[in-house]
């Protein structure tokens, strides 16, 4: 990760054990300011424990955490003003109105009463919950409750948001709405660190990912570099041809041993090759020379699922 970028989170050699169980084991990673960074790992990997240490709710046994250059061991109060934490449970406020709920937390942050009305209205607009201002929380859909929970983490206008599995249990539409909201928050300049064990949730959202397993880091970097880590120089193209896929496969396999072709559909072929040995243009040129009419050729990159499955031994639940 480039040195000149300012870091919102800088974790070094973090360790936390509960009795014999080492939940976080010599963990180091960084989260650049203004990014959305995914924190990915299977169940029990240590995500919640790490997030609780980051938001100063839990003390590590060893190691250091800096939030915007402030050390959690010496500047916990200052840090709490700069971060908003959304835990993976909602809390027991079901019979409160939406407005009352946000007003209550704004008051807890000592925001003056005369400022709270506008503040809560602004947050409700951002969350697209204005129409529900006077609804009881237990009347809201799960997606709306999650957005409200995020709103609670926003009342003191923190620069950093720590979100623990915010999309769990949401239907696809609610998940998309939440992701759009997170993008909007990034546009507003917030840094977002978001945990999940469901990769599909994060792959189109994140600038960077930290992947952990058994409390240890396996990867910290961009999503695309993670793909390169896994794939090396292996490249894939998907070719749609006027002729049957089997004809394409036969031509390629008769030509070279180091090009692997497999059938993906009647006229769709997946071609895998090592880009240090051959270029995609050579493959296409060879097919054209053999009278194959190519309708489409698209490069396929490894998705986050492939990367995760390859990097972690346990896999996703
Ligand atoms: N207070 C605790 N006492 C004992 N063990 C704990 C405690 N908190 C966490 N653990 C253990 O530490 C390990 C990491 O737990 P943690 O909740 O941080 O993982 P996680 O990645 O958030 O998992 P999940 O996705 O299931 O929430 C687990 O084995 C868990 O059982």
Q: How far apart are CA 28 and CA 14, in angstroms?
A: 6
Determine the pLDDT at residue 303.
66
Structural tokens at position 47: 């995500």
Determine the pLDDT at residue 94.
77
Determine the pLDDT at residue 92.
60
Q: Is the CB of 43 under 6 A from ligand 1?
A: yes
Q: Which residues of the chain have pLDDT under 70?
A: 1-4, 92, 199-201, 227, 230-231, 302-305, 313-317
Structural tokens at position 289: 């020379």
* Lookup result for tokens 């709710």: 57
Q: Is the CB of 31 under 6 A from ligand 1?
A: no
| Alpha carbon 211 to its chain's center | 10
Atom 18 of ligand 1, nearest CA residue = 46
Q: How far apart are CA 127 and CA 155, in angstroms?
A: 12
Element (H, E) at 271: strand 268-274
Determine the pLDDT at residue 315.
42
Q: Answer whether 241's CB lies under 8 Å from 286's CB.
A: no
Q: Is the CB of 21 under 6 A from ligand 1?
A: yes
Determine the pLDDT at residue 234.
80
Instruction: Report DSSP state, residue 250.
Output: H
Q: Is the CB of 89 under 6 A from ligand 1?
A: no
Sign of torsion over alpha carbons 237, 238, 240, 246: positive
Instruction: Report DSSP state, residue 197.
Output: S
- Structural domains in the chain, CATH included, are 7-91+146-228 (3.40.50.300), 232-305 (3.30.70.100)
Determine the pLDDT at residue 89.
78
Q: Is the CB of 87 under 6 A from ligand 1?
A: no
Q: Is the CB of 190 under 6 A from ligand 1?
A: no
**Cα 219 to averaged position of ligand 1 atoms, centre (Å):** 20
Determine the pLDDT at residue 304.
65
Atom of ligand 1 nearest to the CA of 197: 25
Atom of ligand 1 nearest to the CA of 45: 21
Determine the pLDDT at residue 39.
94
**Cα 44 to averaged position of ligand 1 atoms, centre (Å):** 5
Q: Answer whether 123's CB lies under 8 Å from 200's CB.
A: no
Q: Is the CB of 42 under 6 A from ligand 1?
A: no
Structural tokens at position 98: 């939406």
Q: Is the CB of 44 under 6 A from ligand 1?
A: yes
**Cα 56 to averaged position of ligand 1 atoms, centre (Å):** 17
Sign of torsion over alpha carbons 74, 78, 82, 88: positive
* Lookup result for tokens 């924190």: 39
Determine the pLDDT at residue 233.
76
């Amino acid at each position: 990760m480039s040195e000149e970028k300012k870091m919102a989170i800088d974790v070094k050699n973090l360790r936390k054990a509960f009795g014999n169980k080492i939940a976080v084991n010599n963990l180091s990673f960084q989260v650049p300011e203004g990014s959305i960074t995914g924190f990915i790992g299977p169940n029990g990997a240590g995500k919640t424990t790490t997030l609780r240490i980051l938001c100063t709710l839990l003390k590590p046994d060893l190691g250091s955490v800096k939030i915007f250059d402030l050390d959690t061991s010496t500047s916990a109060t200052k840090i709490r003003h700069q971060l908003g934490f959304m835990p993976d449970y909602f809390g027991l406020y079901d019979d409160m109105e939406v407005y009352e709920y946000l007003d209550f937390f704004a008051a807890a942050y000592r925001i003056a009463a005369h400022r709270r009305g506008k503040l809560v209205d602004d947050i409700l607009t951002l969350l697209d919950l204005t129409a529900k201002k006077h609804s009881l929380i237990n009347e809201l859909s799960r997606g709306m409750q999650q957005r409200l929970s995020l709103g609670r983490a926003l009342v003191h206008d923190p620069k950093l948001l720590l979100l623990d599995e915010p999309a769990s249990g949401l239907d696809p539409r609610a998940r998309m709405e939440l992701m759009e909201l997170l993008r909007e928050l990034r546009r507003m300049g917030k840094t977002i660190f978001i945990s999940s064990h469901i990769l599909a949730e994060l792959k189109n959202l994140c600038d960077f990912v930290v992947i952990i397993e058994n409390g240890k880091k396996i990867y910290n970097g961009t999503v695309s570099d993670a793909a390169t880590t896994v794939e090396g120089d292996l490249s894939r193209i998907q070719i749609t041809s006027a002729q049957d896929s089997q004809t394409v496969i036969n031509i390629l396999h008769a030509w070279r041993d180091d090009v692997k072709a497999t059938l993906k559909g009647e006229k769709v072929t997946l071609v895998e090759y090592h880009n240090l040995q051959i270029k995609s243009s050579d493959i296409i040129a060879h097919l054209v020379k053999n009278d194959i009419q190519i309708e489409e050729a698209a490069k396929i990159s490894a998705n986050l699922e492939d990367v995760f499955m390859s990097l972690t031994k346990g896999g996703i639940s």
